[in-house]
Amino acid sequence: MNFYKYDNVLLEAEDGIGTLTINRPKVLNALNSATLQDIGDALREVKERQDVIKVLIITGAGPKSFVAGADISQMHNMSVVEALNLSKLAHNSFAEIEELPQFTIAAVNGFALGGGCELASSCDMRIGSNTSKFGQPEVGLGIIPGFGGTQRLTRLIGRGKAKEMIATSTMITAQEAYRIGLLDEITEPDQLMDNAKEIAKTIMKNGPIAVAMAKYSVDRGADLPLDIAIDMESQVWAETFATNDQSEGMEAFLEKRAAKFSGK
């Protein structure tokens, strides 16, 4: 079902799996402000449509690129104020990914550079093909990563590796991205979307509220002191006992049958 069409992104849903495709293949899916706006709008639709989208896959159109960064042709004459607005727009749109109750998978089908690496880093997990390439090339353009790269990348792979990637501005292979924890899985290019869908189906067998709350707990707790994070986890854990899914999940186990989760 192709139910939303934006100028620069496509949003489709099939069998509970949403696919958001950044759709500017002529410029390797570079992110201009209109595309960032479309991404934010599409993500708000995803949040509203939990009835048809249980897990979201984000990918890029065409065989070559996930997203080759922010659109350099739009940026090259920008003022400081325009730069700030573009960065804030990207931050707002990428924050929508983290705030979704649905789990998100970046299916990185080629270049994930600059804003593309930052978009992938905002997803709950990243799978790539063995031709994917990652990089933060901004310092080569005389700027720094401005769509979360100095922050989310650091949290994913650690300060040393993040600073190395950013300061050298060199591209790394999928294998290296996997080794340093930036990629969670690598597949053959023609199996990338099938693999992403298999992961989505595995997640969808579980209680949707529990998946959303687990995502929330991991993300919220990651930057809190451990004692506060642990307390937050206790609260969120206890809240799951208010759901029908908790009763159903445990009754199904005791009755030795598969659970039928209602998401309530």
* Alpha-carbon dihedral 135, 46, 35, 110, rounded to 10 degrees: 30
> What residues does 61 pair with on adjacent strands?
none
Task: Say if residues 136 and 117 touch (Cβ distance below 8 Å).
Answer: yes
Distance CA 259, CA 261 (A): 6
138 has catalytic annotation? yes
Output 133 or 161, the one with its CB closest to ligand CAA: 133
Output 4 or 147, the one with its CB closest to ligand CAA: 147
Single out the catalytic residue among 12, 48, 138, 251. Answer: 138
CB of residue 83 to ligand CAA, shortest distance in Å: 9
CB of residue 249 to ligand CAA, shortest distance in Å: 41
Start-end of H helices in 9-158: 33-48, 72-75, 80-99, 115-121, 152-157
CB of residue 250 to ligand CAA, shortest distance in Å: 45
Q: How many CA atoms lie within 13 A of 96 on its CB side?
A: 20
251 has catalytic annotation? no
Single out the catalytic residue among 118, 176, 185, 198. Answer: 118
The residues binding ligand CAA (CB under 6 A) are 27-28, 30, 68-73, 111, 113-115, 118, 137-138, 141, 145-147
CB of residue 256 to ligand CAA, shortest distance in Å: 51
Distance CA 26, CA 22 (A): 11
Output 72 or 259, the one with its CB closest to ligand CAA: 72
Output 76 or 205, the one with its CB closest to ligand CAA: 76
Distance CA 29, CA 112 (A): 10
Catalytically active residues, by annotation: 118, 138
